[in-house]
Amino acid sequence: MSSNYNQERRGRPPEPGGGPGNAGGHTGPAHSGPVSAEVLAPGHTFATVTDKISSIVLTRRTPLHWLVGLGFALLLVMVLLTAITYLLAVGVGIWGVKIPVGWGLAIVNFVWWIGIGHAGTLISAILLLLRQQWRTSINRFAEAMTLFAVACAGMFPLLHMGRPWLGYWLLPYPNSMQVWPQFRSPLVWDVFAVSTYGTVSLIFWYVGLMPDVATLRDKAENKIAKVIYGIMAFGWRGSARHWHRYETAYLLLAGLATPLVVSVHTVVSFDFTIGLPAGWHTTIFPPYFVAGAIYSGFAMVLTLAIPIRAFYGLEDFITHKHLENAAKILLATGLIVTYGYAMEAFMAWYSGDKFEWYMTSWRATGGYRLQYWLLILCNVVSVQFLWFKRLRRNVPFLFLISFIINLGMWMERYVIVVTSLSRDFVPSAWRPYSATIWDYATFIGTIGFFFVCFFLFLRLLPMIAIFEMRELVAKAEGGKR
């Protein structure tokens, strides 16, 4: 059933200069302001919002662009499977890691993927607590993005072990060898942090989906779909008592997820800070990593949101306001990241520590200077264009810059991991590092895995939170259906 828009213009005219910050978190004091038309195009009703989003899932005709996209992603997954199989059969030696650079692309990719996931939780949890209405149309697929990014990230710590099939040894379980994890190590903290993050993201996402899956259950015509969605919906029927508990739980989950997001990337940064190499052993890493994570995560949100709204015709729901707000967050976090780089360099000079200073100057002039300056270009220079409103509202430009930023953030993790290990304290231990084809194949493969998961999500589940969009409709139109 195709979407049927109500063409009659209802609701208030657009608010001049209206924007985020209008009231209406889920629980708590009710709506104290109308919904700006910049966040939801006027003229929508509960029915049109529901039908538009659910029809994407329940259509019998799978769009061609989806099949093409999934096809490419599946090709990359085949690359991933080949790379993993070869790795498990032959060993970590197929990668470029050697002494002294014992951590290579695997850890770079791990940090990159986890960082990307953080934006989804920020949008869902933090923007909910801050009562930002513009989170509503983007939070569902951003949470899905987080979930799949964490899944991709989690592969790397397992694969980079010499014997990944023994990965369960990281967990505290009673065993016949009578050994247990060593809890003063950030690598063990990482196990708990990333596992918790994956679990809580899954819980948050699924709880948010339940009422919308109930919508699909009630609208589906295909018997199998009806049964599957019915099982997934747990019998949701929209009872006011249930909604009350639901909203309370959701708000509490948001409150829990917020410190979790900050703590997870902080613990990831501790993987480096607890080590001694110059360029690693610095207290600026926790906030710098978290800001960098949000930076790359929002870039990925834009990379996903822009094609989604174009291919699925969702410009009414994901408006220019959403894209512009994401661009503003990119600018803000980009500036924090820039500050991080500047402070690192300044402290290296100001401290008088010859190892720190050598590391800083070698990064800019040595064997990895290409990666270093590319990183500065992508992360620091390119984001300055977002000071200009015309460019923040230019959709193709935002799409391009989202790729540039993600590339830059990957470069940043590469520079951090590789340069500090390649030349640390004793010159006789200096060796260069270069990644092999298998390193890159695994990375590209995880990109494919991410997109396979994401495309399946787009086809099988509502990509926008339907019931939250209904709340926006209710606030916009004063309760008319």
Partner 1 sequence: MEKDPLLYGVLAEFDGEHELLEAGRRAYQHGYRQMDAYSPMPIPGMSAVIGFPKTRVPLVVLIGGLAGCFGGFLMQYWISVIEYPLNIGGRPLNSWPAFIPVTFEMTILCAALAAALGMLALNGLPRPHHPLFNAPNFAGVTRNKFFLCIEATDPKFERDQVRRFLVSLNPREVTDVEQ
Candidates 60, 223, 241, 390: give the one binding partner 1 (CB under 8 A). Answer: 241
Q: Is 180 in the site for partner 1 (CB under 8 A)?
A: yes
Stretch that binds partner 1, among 81-89, 148-156, 207-215, 385-393 (CB under 8 A): 207-215
Residue 252 binding partner 1, by CB under 8 A? yes
Neighbours of 211 (CB within 10 A): 21
Minimum CB distance to partner 1 smaller for 1 or for 460: 1
Task: Supply the minimum distance, in Å, between the C-beta of residue 9 and partner 1.
Answer: 19
**Which residue in the set 9, 60, 61, 184 belongs to the binding site for partner 1 (CB under 8 A)?**
184
Stretch that binds partner 1, among 95-103, 149-157, 186-194, 421-429 (CB under 8 A): 186-194
Cα gap 216→57, rounded to integer Å: 8
Per the CB < 8 A criterion, the answer to whether 284 and 345 are in contact is: no
What count of residues does the chain have?
Answer: 481
The residue within the footprint of partner 1, chosen from 189, 280, 362, 449 (CB under 8 A), is: 189
Pick from 199, 222, 365, 434 the residue near partner 1 by CB under 8 A: 199
Q: What is the DSSP string of 130-156?
A: TT-GGGTTTHHHHHHHHHHHHHHHHHH
DSSP state of 33: S
Residues 6 or more apart whose Cβ sits within 8 Å of residue 411: 371, 372, 374, 375, 378, 379
Residue 64: CB atoms within 10 A of its CB come to 8
Interaction between residue 270 and partner 1 (CB under 8 A): yes
Minimum CB separation of residue 329 from partner 1 in Å reads 24
Establish if 26 lies at the interface with partner 1 (CB under 8 A). Answer: yes
**Of 181 and 367, which CB lies nearer to partner 1 in the complex structure?**
181
280 phi and psi angles, rounded to 5 deg = -110, -40
Pick the closest to residue 403 from 290, 296, 288, 289 (CA basis): 296
The distance of closest approach from Cβ of residue 309 to partner 1 in the complex, given in angstroms and rounded to an integer, is 22
Note whether 429 binds partner 1 by CB under 8 A. no
Sign of CA dihedral 10, 314, 230, 146: negative
Closest to partner 1 by CB, 92 or 261: 261
Euclidean distance between CA atoms 116 and 108, whole angstroms = 12
> Does position 471 bind partner 1 by CB under 8 A?
yes
By beta-carbon proximity to partner 1, the closer residue of 214 and 405 is 214
Select from 59, 166, 234, 364 the one that contacts partner 1 (CB under 8 A): 234
Q: Is 358 in the site for partner 1 (CB under 8 A)?
A: no
Is position 46 an interface residue for partner 1 (rule: CB under 8 A)?
A: yes
Nearer to partner 1, 130 or 252 (CB): 252
The answer to whether residue 207 forms part of the interface with partner 1 (CB under 8 A) is: yes
Name the residue type at position 288: Y
For residues 95 and 72, give the distance between their C-alpha atoms in angstroms, rounded to a whole number.
Answer: 25
